[in-house]
């Protein structure tokens, strides 16, 4: 593949993003669902690609349409992007963020940390039970499918795509397509069901903050910002004649990923020389890079806190790079989604999706009021959104439920991530869950995740309600 082919493929992604934004601006129903333009662009690429348009014989019109609207080399390029972009997304998670003491984080966000872990580990329990008791015996589904709900719902498209190589190495080649499909269900379900819950909560007086969900003006619904209300995308922490600030911030992300890569290689070497050689059990060779890239970001931030007296790291610029990588990831992952895999496994796919939705809904309506000591709806809806469709969905639902940020929901949700995302939702346990099931079997991991869920549930119910 030539450099020109790769470049043209990236230009096509940019064109799709612009078209996705225009579609959202012109389509009120998509605005009311709060669907991001990247998701719309990804669906558009999927429809115009080989999985939908490519099934129609349009070759007599032009050879260009033999596999849909896009050339084969573009699909090859796009298929490689998610596993690369996810490292940028996770490396940037904590860059530019103040690292408060664990005591401060726990006092404010402890209940949400516990609730988030209950939902995440509970998704493993639900998934593994469905696979062991039903999907495995009836449909011969791989035991690794028991991890798909948490990987897809809490981890999202990035985690699902990032674990593609791990699924393949474990002999579960369909895992990536199923996970990306479930992640799409999670994002759509998180937005649609979450907005429905907020409307229901307003009618039933469940919110502590008075709210009118329909008070957004036309500009806000379209996802645009008035000229007099625009804020800077980032601050110029260095002079351009020295180094372009955007380049420096990309460098900080690169350093974080390299640190994560070094840590991962170190674990692989240690494992090969110690317990791996003794027991034959290997885990780190299957662990993807992105959770360690997140750890590298924390280390980079810690070092900058100690040494960077000029504060050259700007959180807003980091957020823009992260957002760009996430948009590219979502479009490319959806554009290369293998619908035939989902069609061939439609019943297991549907069962897992319904199982994840029902468990997460149960946790929001029945557990959140008992675990979260105050503003349970405003705080819990963020956890529901994150547990269905990643962090961005949770933030969006909190913004809708509490548009003026009068509750502590946003602050506690932000602190929660410091103790949550390093381990689940794409963190270390999420990345290791597939190798763990492969090495120790689904029943062992079911027992472990079940015990963790029960212990956290008992702790949350009896400790935080005092």
Per-residue pLDDT of the chain (466 residues; tens, 9 = 90+): 799 999 999 999 999 999 999 999 999 888 877 778 988 999 999 999 888 887 776 655 555 555 678 888 999 999 999 889 989 988 998 898 877 777 777 877 899 999 999 999 999 999 999 999 999 999 999 999 999 999 999 988 878 888 888 999 899 999 999 999 999 899 888 888 988 898 898 888 888 776 655 556 677 777 777 877 788 888 888 998 899 999 999 999 999 999 999 999 999 999 898 978 787 777 788 788 888 898 899 999 999 999 998 899 999 999 999 989 989 988 998 898 888 899 999 999 999 999 999 999 999 999 999 999 889 999 999 999 899 977 777 877 887 788 767 888 877 887 787 788 888 988 889 989 999 999 999 999 999 999 999 999 999 998 876 5
Helical residues (DSSP H) of 163-314, grouped into ranges: 164-169, 175-203, 218-221, 245-273, 275-279, 290-307
Determine, yes or no, domain membership for 151: yes
Determine, yes or no, domain membership for 58: no
CA dihedral for 167, 168, 174, 178, sign (positive or negative):
positive
Determine, yes or no, domain membership for 11: no
How many separate domains does the chain show?
A: 1
Structure pTM? Answer: 0.81
Query: What's the helix, strand, coil split of the chain in %, to 5?
Result: 75, 0, 25
What is the domain range of residue 157? 95-213+312-321+338-463
Determine, yes or no, domain membership for 168: yes
Burial of 59 (0-12, 13-18, 19+ CB in 10 A): exposed
CA dihedral for 236, 242, 246, 250, sign (positive or negative):
negative
Determine, yes or no, domain membership for 359: yes
Determine, yes or no, domain membership for 121: yes
Residues 6+ apart with CB under 8 A from 16: 41, 42, 44, 45, 331, 335
Determine, yes or no, domain membership for 417: yes
Determine, yes or no, domain membership for 10: no
Q: What is the dihedral of CA 254, 256, 260, 261, to 10 degrees?
A: 20
């Amino acid at each position: 593949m030539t450099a020109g082919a790769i470049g043209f493929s990236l230009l096509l992604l940019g064109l799709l993003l612009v078209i996705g934004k225009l579609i959202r601006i012109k389509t009120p129903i998509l605005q009311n669902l709060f669907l991001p333009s990247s998701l719309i662009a990804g669906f558009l690429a999927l429809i115009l690609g080989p999985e939908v348009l490519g099934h129609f014989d349009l070759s007599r019109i032009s050879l260009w349409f033999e596999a849909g609207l896009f050339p084969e080399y573009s699909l090859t390029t796009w298929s490689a992007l998610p596993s690369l972009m996810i490292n940028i997304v996770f490396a940037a998670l904590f860059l530019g963020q103040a690292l408060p003491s664990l005591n401060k984080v726990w006092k404010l966000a402890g209940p949400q940390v516990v609730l988030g872990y209950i939902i995440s580990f509970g998704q493993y329990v639900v998934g593994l039970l469905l696979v062991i008791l039903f999907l495995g015996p009836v449909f011969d589904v791989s035991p690794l499918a028991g991890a798909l709900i948490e990987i897809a719902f809490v981890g999202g498209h990035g985690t699902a795509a990032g674990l593609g190589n791990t699924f393949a190495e474990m002999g579960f080649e369909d895992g990536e397509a199923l996970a990306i499909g479930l992640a799409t269900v999670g994002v759509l379900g998180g937005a649609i069901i979450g907005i429905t819950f907020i409307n229901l909560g307003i009618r039933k007086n469940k919110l502590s903050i008075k709210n009118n969900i329909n008070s957004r003006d036309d500009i806000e619904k379209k996802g645009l910002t008035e000229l007099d209300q625009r804020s800077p995308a980032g601050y110029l922490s260095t002079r351009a004649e020295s180094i372009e600030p955007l380049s420096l911030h990309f460098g900080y992300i690169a350093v974080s990923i390299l640190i994560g890569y070094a840590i991962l290689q170190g674990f692989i070497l240690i494992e090969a020389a110690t317990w791996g050689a003794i027991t034959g059990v290997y885990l780190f060779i299957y662990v993807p890079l992105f959770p360690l890239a997140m750890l590298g970001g924390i280390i980079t931030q810690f070092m900058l806190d100690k040494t960077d007296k000029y504060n050259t790291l700007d959180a807003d610029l980091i957020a823009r790079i992260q957002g760009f990588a996430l948009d590219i990831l979502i479009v490319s992952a959806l554009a290369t989604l293998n619908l035939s895999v989902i069609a061939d496994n439609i019943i297991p796919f549907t069962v897992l999706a319904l199982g994840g939705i029902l468990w997460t809904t149960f946790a929001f309506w029945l557990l959140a009021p008992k675990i979260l000591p105050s503003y349970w709806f405003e705080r819990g809806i963020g956890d529901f959104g994150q547990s269905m469709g990643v962090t961005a969905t949770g933030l969006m639902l909190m913004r809708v439920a509490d548009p003026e940020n009068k509750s502590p929901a946003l602050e506690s949700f932000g602190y929660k991530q410091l103790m949550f995302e390093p381990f689940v939702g794409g963190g270390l346990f999420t990345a290791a869950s597939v190798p763990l099931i492969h090495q120790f079997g689904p029943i062992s991991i079911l027992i472990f995740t079940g015990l963790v869920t029960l212990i956290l549930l008992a702790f949350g119910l009896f400790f935080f309600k005092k």
